[in-house]
Amino acid sequence: MHSEDSLSSNGSVVKHIQSLHRLSNTYLRGRVHSCHVEKENILDNTLGKRRKKVGPRGLPTRELWVKYEILNILGIDTVGQSFRTRCILEATWEEPVLNSYVENDNTAVDILSMSQVWKPRRVKFMNEIDEGIEPNIEICDWDPRPGSNDAVVTCYFNYTGSFLTKMNLKMFPFDYQELTLDFTMLTRELDLIFRLNPMRESEFNKRNSQMHEWILSHTTENFEIQQDNKHLPVFHITLHCKRRAGYYLINVMIPVLLITALTWLGYSIPSNDLGSRLEAVLTLVLTSVAFKFVVAGHLPRLSYSTLCDHYMILSLLFQTAIATEIGVTTVLIEDSMHRQSRIDEVDRIFILITLSAYIIMHIVFGFIVMRYIKKMKLIWIEQLSKQGSSN
């Protein structure tokens, strides 16, 4: 009797345990499923946040801090509208691959495979005449950025080359020029964002550049995304300089002024000697034309006239007007008793008008040049003040 009761009680206990086991399995399966769902939701949210940090090409972005050093300017070619310079570019970026290495553990960093560290494939200068260069990678010591504990990698580029630049020569030879150095870093994995390195100041060594024709001032920078199919990030370095006008003043403009002034001396020849008058004036006209060709050899073939062109053309027009007046007056005034005196009177009036106009022309030219120089100096002062405030 007791054995039957014990068996029945044992059977009920076993059934109870089995039911509890089924309930626990069901509960655990539910928890595991909910954990998987929660994990997937968290992963989706994380990926969603990452998807927001994409560039114009739909790739993940990486910020590069740029520092540059213009070592010297080797030459500026006005005719070819190009310049040659030697510079050092430095790009720094955070590298998560290095975060697992202990600080100042240089041995561990040195043996790191370079394939694990991202680096640009090539540095491309957008306005270069020579070919691009390969990057030289240097893994730096632990040098975290402000507000970040990530390790950084620095990439150095030492480059000497010639670059095309678009010069505005309307105010030649008193012109101020902006020489641009445009570069990007080619990569298939990331969309790059360039920033000027706030920790390391860029430099422009003006003293190393022996430029007798130019005065080198300062540099400015800006970053843009090219609005084309490639959407490449481009960093612009602009070198600001001013031409020394002394060479062209002494060798071109002052000689043209003197040659034009000598044209009025043709009136000292008696008016009845028309041949000698015209010979003297036309000789000076041809001399001015020869000077015009000399100046044209120092300039590119432009679709507009420079300030020097305007000056020389107006001087040539004054000479042409004098030669025309001498010939026309002698022909139009009829022979009479007072013919000589009438020719001399017309000559005196014409000399007074043309000399006054020539003097006014120089005053106007001086005003234009001074206003332009004042405007450019104000622009330079504003740019330098912005650089000082940013530093």
Sequence-separated contacts (24+) of 150-153 with Cβ below 8 Å:
150/94, 150/95, 150/96, 150/98, 150/99, 151/94, 151/95, 151/98, 151/99, 151/101, 152/92, 152/93, 152/94, 152/95, 153/92, 153/93, 153/95, 153/98, 153/117, 153/119
What's the pLDDT at 30? 42
Low-confidence ranges of the chain (pLDDT < 70): 1-53, 55-56, 99-116, 130-149, 227-229, 334-337, 388-391
What's the pLDDT at 161? 87
- List, for residues 56-82, the tens digit of each pLDDT value: 677 888 888 899 999 989 899 998 899
61-244, CATH topology level: Acetylcholine Binding Protein; Chain: A, (2.70.170)
- CA 189-190-193 angle, 5° bins: 160
Which tokens sit at 182? Answer: 């445009």
- Say how far apart CA 18 and CA 24 lie, in whole Å: 10
R_g (Cα) of the chain, nearest Å: 40
Distance of CA 40 to the CA centre of its chain: 48
What's the pLDDT at 270? 87
Give the burial string for 181-198 (b: 16+ CB within 10 Å, else e).
Answer: bbbbbebeebbbebebbe
Helix H or strand E segment including 277: helix 274-296
Q: Domain limits of the chain?
A: 1-52, 61-244, 247-389
What's the pLDDT at 361? 96
What's the pLDDT at 224? 84
What's the pLDDT at 151? 74
Type of residue at 364: V
CATH of 247-389, one of 3.40.1390.10, 3.30.70.1140, 1.20.58.390, 3.40.50.300: 1.20.58.390
